[in-house]
Amino acid sequence: MRTIKGPAIFLAQFVGEESPFNSLESISSWAADCGFKGIQIPSWETSLFDLNLAAESQGYCDELRGILADRDIEITELSTHLQGQLVAVHPAYDEMFDGFAAPEVQGNPKARQAWAVEQLLLAAKASKNLGLTTHASFPGALAWPYFYPWPQRPAGLVESAFDELAKRWLPILNAFDDAGVDIGFEIHPGEDLHDGVTFEMFLERVHNHPRCNILFDPSHLILQQLDYLGFMDAYKDRIKLAHIKDAEFNPTAKQGVYGGYQSWVDRAGRFRSLGDGQVDFKSIFSKLAANDFDGWAVLEWECCLKHPEQGAREGAVFIRDHIIQVTDKAFDDFADAGTDDASNRRILGLS
């Protein structure tokens, strides 16, 4: 067993135009002041990070690591959630997802997809240059508009969607394999990989690729009323990243899992700051330790009520207090009488 690394924080929800959230130097200082030891960097945020340069320049990556080391901060992973989403977009979402892409490819789905793939290939190289071994992303979605089977889906529709999704991702997975980096796909509604079954459908089509793995986030599973602790056991060999995020599900006589088109604060299922929701984090951290998880505990702050800076500071303490320093000895070692093969055979009546 290994002690989980952390606490760390995903910076996507905090980047802004005002200091300290507008540069890598200042936001990393802020993160360290909050008590974090690592940062997960959204690779699309050019005020923090130059993905193209990181893919090309070892010197740039070494400089970034030095800046962070001065603040006692490490990079946990790069994230390509937005670019990964654009690897596969159903036409119904073209306009809404267009803003994720570079201006020069907006309004052109084919060019946008090619741009997204190139972004992932750059991220593989950049991760290698930064000495990282894991990467966070979304897989995108072609079948999501048809997740509920009404009207009845045409035979083979879902299978065709997953065949195409795998076809698009397999070269990317190979590039990450060349870089020695695992991709953790965040299991998330709105993605074709939104639960264990859909992850397995995809995994089969990429031939059980060793770099096809999971970013575990219990908040998205509790809102689906999925057994998130059982999920951890079922996929313990594929869970390579973890977002520590809380949520609550309070169904009423008027709404349930689908939320009735309500705002986040009025939904039955809501994201909450750490400790304010219903996720059983004591059991989660116990399973991460028992399952020999070799990654970081990364706070992803999303809450419909609490201010992000309060959520961040409280979250750092929450994660720190939940990380289990794994034991290096058995609790009953004091009663060890000392045995050898001969005494074992005598105890069993074999001598």
Q: Is the pLDDT of residue 351 over 80?
A: no
Q: What is the mean pLDDT of the chain?
A: 96
DSSP code of residue 91: G
Those residues with Cβ within 8 angstroms of residue 7's Cβ, 6 or more apart along the chain or in another chain: 35, 36, 37, 38, 244, 297, 298, 299, 315, 316, 319, 320, 323
What is the structure's pLDDT at 328? 82
Closest by CA position to 310, among listed 79, 14, 42, 10: 14
Per-residue pLDDT band for 336 (boundaries 50, 70, 90) equals confident
Q: Is the pLDDT of residue 339 over 80?
A: no
In the predicted model, what is the mean pLDDT of residues 19-46? 98
Consecutive H or E run containing 304: none
State what percent of residues in the chain have pLDDT above 90: 93
Q: Is the pLDDT of residue 141 over 70?
A: yes
Structural domain of residue 157, as residue ranges? 5-347
What is the structure's pLDDT at 329? 80
What is the structure's pLDDT at 212? 99
In the predicted model, what is the mean pLDDT of residues 175-202? 98
User: Alpha helices, DSSP H only, in 45-156?
Assistant: 51-56, 58-69, 81-85, 94-97, 109-129
DSSP 34-47: HT-SEEEEETT-TT
Q: Is the pLDDT of residue 338 over 90?
A: no
DSSP 307-349: -HHHHHHHHHHHHHHH-----SS-TTGGG-----HHHHHHHTT
Torsion of CA 38, 43, 46, 48, to 10 degrees: 0
The domain that holds 77 is classified in CATH as: 3.20.20.150
In degrees rounded to 5, what are phi and psi of residue 87?
Answer: -65, -30
Q: Tell me the β-bridge partners of 89.
A: 141
- Number of domains forming the structure of the chain: 1
Please write the tens of the pLDDT for every residue from 224-236: 999 999 999 999 9
CA distance 124 to 265: 37
Decide: 250 and 268 in contact? Cβ < 8 Å: yes
In the predicted model, what is the mean pLDDT of residues 233-251? 98
Q: Is the pLDDT of residue 280 over 80?
A: yes
Least confident stretch, 41-50, 232-241, 246-255, 337-346: 337-346
Per-residue pLDDT band for 335 (boundaries 50, 70, 90) equals low
What is the structure's pLDDT at 182? 98
What is the structure's pLDDT at 327? 83
Please write the tens of the pLDDT for every residue from 89-131: 999 999 999 999 999 999 999 999 999 999 999 999 999 999 9
Please write the tens of the pLDDT for every residue from 34-80: 999 999 999 999 999 999 999 999 999 999 999 999 999 999 999 99
CA distance 73 to 39: 7
What is the structure's pLDDT at 1? 83
Q: Where are the beta strands (DSSP E) in 173-321?
A: 182-186, 212-216, 239-244, 246-249, 269-272, 296-299
Decide: 44 and 36 in contact? Cβ < 8 Å: no
What is the structure's pLDDT at 343? 86
What is the structure's pLDDT at 334? 67
What is the structure's pLDDT at 172? 98
